[in-house]
Structure 1
Amino acid sequence: MGITDLKGKDTVIQNTPFGYTMSVIGGKWKMAILYVLAARQPVRFNEMQRQVGAITYKILSAQLKELEADGLVTRKEYPQIPQKVEYSLTPKAQTLLPVLEQLCEWGAQNR
């Protein structure tokens, strides 16, 4: 399965493995969030916001919830005041790390 999934078929991208992958990691911020977590997990929310850059609290929170719902991020809450929450990659997300590394290599070569 791969790029040839669409050749000569009446298949739409959303129904392919590529479509699934893009539904899970697509968008402006998800790959950046995964990149930060891969480099320095566990990461607290405010640290994540600083590392990702120009992302709002609301958008970061929504993206983390989506990544958690898709099984890529775990959220650990500590019962203390002020509230402490840390995010980490799941084993499923760990399988994406070679792909992230390849993207980094491509960027370095084609910058």
Structure 2
Amino acid sequence: MEDELKEKSHICHEECPVTRALEIIGGKWRIPIIWKLSTEKGIRYNELKRSIPGITNIMLTRSLQSLEEHGLVKRVQYNKIPPHVEYSLTDSCHDLMPALAIINEWGKHAL
């Protein structure tokens, strides 16, 4: 019986695009990172960290890596003096912004 429930849960989980999307953008820090990156063409790591109060280096690094793995954030390394890295949103993530704007508006009025 327990195996059947796990199997059904797994199938439902794979078939539900909303659940899949929330796995990718969910979490405490990913949406604030995406939101900040949406306001910039490219932003350096430390500037991004300063703009998100309370985030630690490890959480920012892990969140950026995950967003990059899922194709939502682009990391560009500049090999000039001084070397630096800039983060920006991919086209795929820009497609997500209207949905986040709607959620933002809904959140303003939610109880």
Cα-to-partner distance string for 1:49-94 (whole Å, 9 max, x where unaligned): 0111111111101110110000000001100343311001001101
Report percent identity of matched pairs.
36
- Which protein is richer in helix relative to its size? 2
Q: Does residue 59 of structure 1 match 2:72?
A: no
Show structure 2 runs of 5+ residues with no match.
Answer: 1-7
List aligned pairs for 1:60-99, cutoff 5 A.
60-99=60-99
Q: Which residue of 2 aligns with 1:14?
A: 13
Measure the CA separation in 2 of the matches of 1:108 and 1:81. 44
Q: Is the alpha carbon distance of 1:81 and 1:56 closer, same or farther for their aligned partners in structure 2, counting shifts above 3 Å? A: farther
Show structure 1 runs of 5+ residues with no match.
Answer: 1-9
TM-score (norm. length: structure 1): 0.83
Measure the CA separation in 2 of the matches of 1:11 and 1:57. 34
Root-mean-square deviation over aligned CA pairs: 1.6
Moved over 3 A (4+): 10-13
Count of residue pairs brought into register by the alignment: 102
Measure the CA separation in 2 of the matches of 1:45 and 1:104. 24
